[in-house]
Amino acid sequence: MKVLYLNPDRGIPVLGDKGASVHVREFVTALSRQGHEISLICTTLGAGNAPPPATIIELPPLIAAQDPGDDWIAQGLRASSAGNPILRREFGRMTYDRDFAVRAETALTLTGFRPDLIYERHALFHCSGATLARTLGVPRLLEVNAPLIREQEQYRGLFLRSSAEAMERASFRGADSIIAVSDEVAAYVAACGVPGETIMVVPNGVDSARFHPGADGEVVRDKLGLGTDPVIGFIGSFKAWHGVGFLVDAFAALAMCDPRARLLCVGEGPELEAARVQAAKLGLGDRVVFTGRVPHTEVPAYLAAMDISVAPYLADGDFYFSPLKVVEALAIGVPVVAARIGQLEWLVEHGKTGFLYNPGDQDDFIARMLELVGDPQRRCAMSAAASKRALSDFTWSAAVSRVIAEGGRHIDTRRAA
């Protein structure tokens, strides 16, 4: 099958390190391994990792600083608002979306690629993927990873909410099926008026060719001077909701109970510097290692260097994530201690592949951690169970097979009509 993968979100560089970037590459790679031909159209290519096996077409914004012009008046905004960076960013995205379908069709014509199916990653202020699908006469599957409007409003600021909602509704309506990464995201999509029978839940997966129990972490342990100490590990993008501050505080208390324990924090992001300062104030010294950015190709070795992986997400009634790093840790065979919240309750089998604790409850977290730090035999048993389940239930190959079957169903329906 010829699949056109659309990634119109300029904040998700295809070759970047963030989880969304990894998701794009891993999904495309799994498609290719199953024999499909892929053309990937993105807004931002980025750098830092090898490209996935696809013909990649980058369509960056044509104009760096958009002039809102008549659109500004149509939204009922004063000219004095023209300097607002959030508004200008939102108008820039809408302007980009207007031209996207035509530019994408032109690019496909130049490369001679005629898709059988469009698979698109949902983006804020973007709905022209539906237009492109109608123009090409092919089914369109829309992957939704988060309630983007709510997320934007809460963390980055949102002015043109009504426009964002209208464009989101148009994008949802223009999809033959919507692929949600969690039950929580599926509920959000359904609340927007999408019929339940058109929504599929397909959680994030893992590349079993790279993430497996045979991964070697000794080189990383030697490089970082971890020796044979029990290593507790965190991998992420250090966002506020990841709970890194909670983790550092809890580790300081845990280290008083077991002086052998080490904390390995991998990644970068807005909370990294604060975590470094916090660890120094708590006098943790070299008990905590911050690596900074690590290319995704090296992540298996860093996970293999850990005895326990943690997902210390903070309490959030809207937890909608499908955490990639949790699945990757399980596949390597690293038991996971995670907050009892959202999809984590399904990913981590309490007492078998790891432990769940009440989010934000430091005493509960420390008790679970000490159970594993002090019991190598139990860690070993959990390790075997974790990798077995992950490599059986959570692979990208299985996820892609489900998605392609759904796309094939729509293709057959159209041909029959």
Both tokens of residue 382?
């959990």
Residue 212 belongs to a domain: no
| Domain limits for position 53 | 2-205+396-416
HEC sequence for the chain: CEEEEEECCCCCCCCCCCHHHHHHHHHHHHHHHCCCEEEEEECCCCCCCCCCCCEEEECCCCCCCCCCCHHHHHCCCCHHHHHCHHHHHHHHHHHHHHHHHHHHHHHHHHHCCCCCEEEEECCCCCCHHHHHHHHHCCCEEEEECCCHHHHHHHHCCCCCHHHHHHHHHHHHHCCCEEEECCHHHHHHHHHCCCCHHHEEECCCCECCCCCCCCCCCHHHHHHHCCCCCCEEEEECCCCHHHCHHHHHHHHHHHHHHCCCCEEEEEECCCCHHHHHHHHHHCCCHHHEEECECCCHHHHHHHHHCCCEEEECCCCCCCCCCCCHHHHHHHHHCCCEEEECCCCHHHHCCECCCEEEECCCCHHHHHHHHHHHHCCHHHHHHHHHHHHHHHHHHCEHHHHHHHHHHHHHHHHHHHHHC
Residue 113 and residue 38 share a domain: yes
Residue 367 belongs to a domain: yes
pLDDT at 315: 82
- Using only the alpha carbons of the chain, give its radius of gyration: 22
Residue 339 has pLDDT above 50, yes or no: yes
Tens-digit pLDDT profile for residues 286-336: 899 999 999 999 999 999 999 999 999 988 667 898 999 999 999 999 999
**Residues facing 178 on adjacent strands:** 142, 199
Residue 7 belongs to a domain: yes
Residue 314 and residue 279 share a domain: yes
Residue 133 and residue 46 share a domain: yes
Residue 42 belongs to a domain: yes
Residue 285 and residue 145 share a domain: no
Alpha-carbon span 96 to 107, nearest angstrom = 15
pLDDT at 87: 87
What's the gap between Cα 88 and its chain centre? 26
**Residues facing 140 on adjacent strands:** 118
Residue 98 and residue 8 share a domain: yes
Residue 194 and residue 223 share a domain: no
pLDDT at 65: 42
Residue 168 and residue 46 share a domain: yes
Residue 65 belongs to a domain: yes
Please report, in angstroms and rounded to a whole number, the separation of the first and last CA atoms in the chain. 20
Tens-digit pLDDT profile for residues 232-270: 999 998 988 899 999 999 999 999 999 999 999 999 999
Residue 137 and residue 23 share a domain: yes
Residue 351 and residue 404 share a domain: no
Residue 226 and residue 275 share a domain: yes
Residue 408 has pLDDT above 90, yes or no: yes
Residue 188 and residue 46 share a domain: yes
Residue 210 belongs to a domain: no
pLDDT at 18: 86
pLDDT at 317: 61
Alpha-carbon span 208 to 133, nearest angstrom = 32
Both tokens of residue 341?
């919240």
Residue 409 and residue 370 share a domain: no
Q: Rounded mean pLDDT of the chain?
A: 93
Nearest to 41 by CA among 55, 21, 20, 62: 55
Tens-digit pLDDT profile for residues 359-399: 999 999 999 999 999 899 999 999 999 999 999 999 999 99
CATH of the domain at 137: 3.40.50.2000
Residue 213 belongs to a domain: no
Domain count, the chain: 2
pLDDT at 107: 97
Residue 248 belongs to a domain: yes
**Residues facing 264 on adjacent strands:** 233, 289
pLDDT at 417: 80
